[in-house]
Amino acid sequence: MRQFDWKALIETFVSGRMDGPTFEKAFLDARRAEIEAGISERFSIDLLFYEVDAYCSDPTMMGPDDIDVEQLRIEARKCLARWGEPWPEI
């Protein structure tokens, strides 16, 4: 399996060319496929997973720990800013 082009996906979302639900599905599908294939993601992708997991597209369903699309875009920008950060030492 070829490694997924995470940067292109995130940049498309951050630029506004992709909506939140589409990004959420594409992100989770790609992450699941890479995990199943034994491919390790970048540290910044792993951190963004938790934000994608907290994303809620329906404002009427949002809980206190959920984030909206604008906060998800902010977190995606942070992911791009951290792109080169290595995994922390254990």
Q: How does pLDDT run across 13-46, given as a tens digit for each residue? A: 999 999 999 999 999 999 999 999 998 889 999 9
The structure's pTM equals 0.91
Q: What is the pLDDT of residue 2?
A: 64
Question: DSSP per residue over the chain, as a string?
Answer: -PPP-HHHHHHHHHTTSS-HHHHHHHHHHHHHHHHHTTPPPPHHHHHHHHHHHHB-S-GGG--TT-B-HHHHHHHHHHHHHTTTPPPPP-
Domains of the chain: 6-81 (1.20.120.650)
CB 33 within 8 A of CB 61: no
pLDDT by residue (tens digit) across 40-78? 889 999 999 999 999 999 989 999 999 999 999 999 999
pLDDT for position 29: 96
Task: State the Cα–Cα distance between residues 46 and 59, nearest whole angstrom.
Answer: 25
